Amino acid sequence: MKKRRLKGLSALLLAAALMAALPPAGIRAQQALPDQRTPAQVEAVRLLLDQGIAKETVEKLGPRAELAAAVLRSRKLSRTELDKLVQGLARYPDDLAFTSKEIEGMQELTTGELFSPQNQGVALARRMIDYKPIDITINSAPTVFDPWEEFHQPVYLNDQAYLPVYRMMTILGGDAEWNGISKNVTLIAPWQSRWKLKIGSKEVHNASGDLIGTLSGPALQVENQVLVPFDFWSAIMGFRSEWDSGRKSFLLVTEPLFDPDSPVEGYGGGDHGYIMPDLNVRLDSGYARLTSLPINYNGLIYYPLDTGAGLLGMTAVYDPQARRLALTTDKATQEKNEGVPVPPSPHLSGVPVDIIPSVQVSLDGMQTAADGTPLALSFPLVMHLGQVFLPVNELAALTGHQVTYSASDAEKTLTLTKPPSRRILEKLAPGVSRDDVRRLLGNSPRVVYDAADGTRSWEYRFVTDEFPLSPLYSDPAVPEANTAGPYKLAAVDREALMSGKLALQLFVHHEPDSLNMSGYTLYRKLGDSIRETRVAADGTLTEKELP
């Protein structure tokens, strides 16, 4: 028994001795992990430690240690300058981490760069659209069909929308009558006009039997319901109908409600205009998604107060007692909700309007323009059914837009554009989210770092100061003096700006602790020099000419 005890004790002592000879478990785990750093990163860490930078700070830099070391070598920084650069770089989180966002089928890094090894997101989004139900919006309100009434649902045939005619007519205040013997449906408008449509035919006739229009597809009878193509609402009823096949989205605009069968002349009221359901509005590089119809009065385009101001990036308040119109620049960057252009309509429908003359105007609290002249409208405001309408053409000129109108057999379009440099000055500010920057300027920034203080920025380079924006990356090579290892340094491209190859160079600076922006610096050629416009993190704006 004693022998067995001694033998067991010897085994325990041997095991204890072996365990004592081994390093602790945490150290063993650390030793087992391979060094993921590149030789350049290892050398960068050594150099910074040799300069007296604290080990904790160097570890916080991560891969950016290579950037700091490269700047130290190339620019021979003093210790004070090196400390400033390192502390600035250490404010930002790991460059190689992903955010939770997916943009255009790609994942976003914390730097804002987009990464997609196989770009599967686009294909997935396309497959999801194939199973997506049709969204229907009437004016600005989404329309929901009762889910238990399946025969009332719209369908998707031959890449276009077919809608249940009875359901839609009753929503709009009209009606539909079915004749099962002749297989005809009589459609009754809110203004009591009547049209006849035969199943299997594209032709629509009035009550007298005259052909008044031809649809893009035939009327269908499916499970006891009559379906008509989406263009029925524009070709026959005179409304504005937009079908976006890519998003399976249908927009119907009926306001202000009018009678397309009535002539332009013959209305009472102070004066008359006419509805333009087929007018498209192009804002900068895309079509606006409209939620109300314009009135053409004396050759100018009038939209309701909120719609007209919104198209111009403004908010508007009208005081009827003082006859005062106050316009304020909307600093928010709205998410793009692009519309679909519609073809010209045969309808020319008159509406009565009342005139509101001699209106006082202020813009951002000022009643005078930059040159000191009073702000004033050459044309009056008008009112229809108690709603104030603004002359968008004229207000656009006051707010710095360029205004053009074109009409052809394909479309009628009012184009409102504003130079990107002015958009930047109006919309970018400290605290603006990266999503808003992308909405305004696109998804093609270059991530750069300031060699002096480590500030990380998005660099945008544009060929012209106009829309559509044209990013300039025709020469992907970056001068060696503007690189630090795999990183790029922020540098003003004086040669490109002065030669006219580059119109705008913008650096949008990142906040360290969020996905927002802390300010920006804009460079552009003015005369024989380069103008720098800088907005600091506290909102302070300074401008100077570069020497």
From first to last of its 547 residues, the chain has per-residue pLDDT tens of 444 443 443 443 344 444 444 445 444 444 444 556 788 889 999 999 999 999 999 998 988 999 999 999 988 999 999 999 999 999 987 666 777 777 776 778 888 887 765 544 444 444 434 445 678 888 888 876 654 455 456 677 777 788 888 888 888 889 999 888 888 999 998 888 899 999 999 999 998 899 988 998 999 887 778 889 989 988 888 889 988 877 778 899 988 766 555 544 433 345 888 888 999 999 877 899 888 999 999 889 999 999 999 998 899 999 999 999 999 988 877 666 678 899 888 777 788 888 999 899 999 999 987 778 888 888 999 998 889 999 998 899 888 888 999 998 889 999 998 888 988 988 898 999 988 898 888 888 889 999 999 999 999 999 888 876 766 644 445 666 788 777 889 999 999 999 998 999 999 999 887 889 999 999 999 989 999 999 999 999 999 999 8
Q: What pLDDT does 265 receive?
A: 42
Pairing of strands 203-206, 211-214: antiparallel
Q: Which residue has the tokens 């603006």?
A: 432
Q: What pLDDT does 182 receive?
A: 86
Question: Which class for 521: exposed (0-12), middle (13-18), buried (19 or more C-beta within 10 A)?
Answer: buried
What distance in Å separates the CA atoms of residue 29 and residue 16, rounded to the nearest whole number? 20
- What's phi and psi for 55, nearest 5 deg? -60, -40
Gyration radius of the chain's alpha carbons:
33
Q: How far is CA 460 from CA 424, 441, 471, 496, 540, in A?
A: 12, 8, 7, 13, 21
DSSP state of 195: E
The pTM score is: 0.74
What distance in Å separates the CA atoms of residue 517 and residue 336, rounded to the nearest whole number? 20
Cβ atoms of 366 and 255 within 8 Å: the answer is no
Q: How far is CA 103 from CA 144, 286, 337, in A?
A: 29, 19, 16
Q: What pLDDT does 537 receive?
A: 92
Helix (H) or strand (E) holding 187: strand 184-188
How crowded is residue 228: how many other Cβ atoms within 10 Å of its Cβ?
27
Q: What pLDDT does 413 receive?
A: 94
Q: What pLDDT does 296 receive?
A: 92
What distance in Å separates the CA atoms of residue 99 and residue 115, rounded to the nearest whole number? 11
Instruction: Cis check for the bond before 256: say yes or no (omega within 30 of 0).
Output: yes
Cβ atoms of 282 and 268 within 8 Å: the answer is no
Residue 95 tokens read as 């460059």
Helix (H) or strand (E) holding 412: strand 412-417
What distance in Å separates the CA atoms of residue 368 and residue 304, rounded to the nearest whole number? 24
Q: What pLDDT does 360 receive?
A: 92
How crowded is residue 39: how many other Cβ atoms within 10 Å of its Cβ?
7
Strand partners, 206: 195
